[in-house]
Amino acid sequence: MLERRIAREVLKGGRATSEGAGYDVEDTNGGRWEVRSITKAGIYFCPSYMVGSGRSFNRAGFVGKLEKLKGYIVADVTEFPVIPFWIIEKEIILKWWKQKKLGKTTKVSKEKALNLIKEIKDKN
């Protein structure tokens, strides 16, 4: 439901044509975005196929996917029914990765994610 609302109401675009498309939503200019949720357990930025039992993180796969995106739309679903969200361009995610602000598998806690987002807001 979150992806549908973001695609329609925020980006004025649409959802990916399939679950395996490599992105979640598209903006009106064809830019591709991933939608990720901050939960009590945190958030990850690597592709979904790298998360879960028996799966492993692959740096090249993460960076390769990131290059194909415009960025991420991150929503704090722990605040439901009000769900704050932020649009974060891929350059910022890549900067966090290079500065080792993301965990080894790109997973960070809820607190760390919100602090990273706050840093962006404070600089603007």
pLDDT tens for residues 10-19? Answer: 888 889 888 8
- What's the confidence (pLDDT) of residue 34? 92
Q: What pTM, to 2 d.p., does this model score?
A: 0.88
- What's the confidence (pLDDT) of residue 67? 93
Average pLDDT over residues 55-74: 91
Q: Is the pLDDT of residue 120 over 90?
A: no
**C-alpha distance from residue 12 to each of 20, 86, 87 (Å):** 22, 16, 14
What are the phi and psi torsion angles at 35 (to 5°)?
Answer: -105, 125
